[in-house]
Structure 1
């Protein structure tokens, strides 16, 4: 009578593959976490949008008659048809008719009038909403 021995090779191979892929996935997750920017981690911990901590401009349009810009660096040009504002991400251009800046501080400004467009001008690239 012959006894048949069942090979454990396939079972060991499957177990080894699971352990190998599990450690690879853990390493990938750790690498991705290490790559995340510092401000993103801080904003997640504080439950704040990353834009706010990075100093990105916040633009709030209230209808077509008022625009508030926060986190800007300075006013580049200003007349009754357009306002150009410098920000960390580039230039923000607000176009319209009868534009006025009734209020501004070092951090925030209000533009009133009939706003027709808000355009973001970055390095050799224009993105806008019309």
Structure 2
């Protein structure tokens, strides 16, 4: 059985370490490959990622589901910012 990385011709493990944000309009965001939740209010959710901090701002934000690999946020999403961490 071939690995999915071989079938899709992806560059391997590095692809799966990057944080991915999938937006559905302004109402839902699914973030894959985050490290942890560092802050959570109805107006701001802050996630730590391999790349740095991911900030989601809006109104009536709520975390509806999360696992070790992904988190689903719903509400009125008004902005998403990635603040890169220090480069070594």
TM-score range, shorter chain: 0.7 to 0.9
TM-score, normalised on structure 1?
A: 0.57
1:67 and 1:49, CA in 2 relative to 1: closer, same or farther beyond 3 A? Answer: farther
How many residues get paired? 79
Task: Give structure 1 stretches of 5+ with no counterpart.
Answer: 1-44, 125-130
Greater fraction of residues in strand: 2
**2:25 counterpart residue number:** 63
SS of the aligned residue for 1:52 comes to helix
TM-score, normalised on structure 2?
A: 0.82
Task: Give structure 2 stretches of 5+ with no counterpart.
Answer: none
In 1, are the aligned partners of 2:53 and 2:85 still within 8 Å (CA)? no
Q: Deviation at 1:49?
A: 5.3
- Give the root-mean-square deviation of aligned CA atoms: 1.7
Distance across 2 between alignment mates of 1:106 and 1:92: 16
**1:52 counterpart residue number:** 15
User: In the TM superposition, what are the counterparts of 1:1-130 in structure 2 within 5 Å?
Assistant: 46=6, 47-48=9-10, 52-53=15-16, 55-123=17-85
| Higher alpha-carbon Rg | 1
Greater fraction of residues in helix: 1
